[in-house]
Structure 1
Amino acid sequence: MLDALEVFTTVAVGLMVGVEFSVAFVVNPILTALPDDSDQLGRAHGGRMLGAVMPFWYIGSLVLTAVWAVAGRHRPGAGLVVVAGGLLILSVVMSILLLVPINNRSTSWTPGNRPADWKEQMNRWDRYHYVRVAVIVAAFALLVTALV
């Protein structure tokens, strides 16, 4: 049963990493290259869509990792799982304190009501997101290492 939990947790975190990596290095650069107001409209839509799903994914991944850490505390690699859990906690705290406030504002923006500094706010979100991606990639790498 623990083996299944380990695999399921690793897959869940890995998929989350893939989505967030894609947002950072594929989706947002594509949106930025689009003409006129398409960038801002696309980001607002993406923020609403992913903003509804990602909190459950982040918290779910953290809970799964915590269960793995407790259930597998006597197995090799348990320390790696604990550190991965700490990194996932950091990613949740970063999300709540840094990224979510910007995302919550930007989801309601339209070309007619967005603030003058909307691009600066999106650039700030991107910078925070790059750091968060690095944190969750490190957590994922630790989980994979603990798994093998």
Structure 2
Amino acid sequence: MLQVLTIVVVGVMVGVEFAVAFVINPILAGLPDDSLIAGRAHGGRMLGAVMPFWYIGSLVLVTIWAVTAHHESGVALVVTAGGLLLLSVIMSIALLVPINNRGKTWTAANRPADWRRQMSRWDRFHHVRVAIIIAAFTLLATALV
């Protein structure tokens, strides 16, 4: 039951983050600048409030799985997935959250001159993070089977 719950929680998180990277942000990028900024700021506030709990919760579930299955085959995959999720949390705190905290306050009236560069930087880091959590999810699914 724990393994299935963990895979579902991590899998849905991966799906949301994938959608942000490859669906939502490209849609917003096609809008006029004012709408783009408003949409990304709103998304930054909304997801910025939820994702810390989701990332940490996923890491906790994986840690519990690894501890309770320490004698089972496939535990190395679970531990590696946990390491990748930990990397994604560290990366989020160090690289993505500072940009997000600035961006979620932007409006058409107060955006900085380099707002596009900052959004592009966030997107690049986010794509790397998505690849990392997809790898973690893949390892967890493989460990289950």
- Give TM-score scaled by structure 2 length: 0.99
1:143 aligns with 2:122: no
1:32-71 to structure 2, matched below 5 A, reads: 32-71=29-68
The answer for unaligned runs of 5 or more in structure 1 is none
Per-residue deviation, 1:19: 0.2
Q: Give the Cα separation in 2 of the matches to 1:51 and 1:110.
A: 17
1:131 aligns with 2:128: yes
**Identity score, percent:** 72
1:76 aligns with 2:73: yes
Q: Give the Cα separation in 2 of the matches to 1:73 and 1:79.
A: 9
Q: Give the Cα separation in 1 of the matches to 2:144 and 2:10.
A: 13
Q: Give the Cα separation in 2 of the matches to 1:84 and 1:143.
A: 6
The answer for unaligned runs of 5 or more in structure 2 is none
More divergent stretch after superposition (36-45 vs 92-101): 36-45
Per-residue deviation, 1:90: 0.2
Question: Residue type of the partner of 2:128?
Answer: V
Per-residue deviation, 1:65: 0.1
1:112 aligns with 2:80: no
CA RMSD of aligned residues (A): 0.5
- Give TM-score scaled by structure 1 length: 0.97
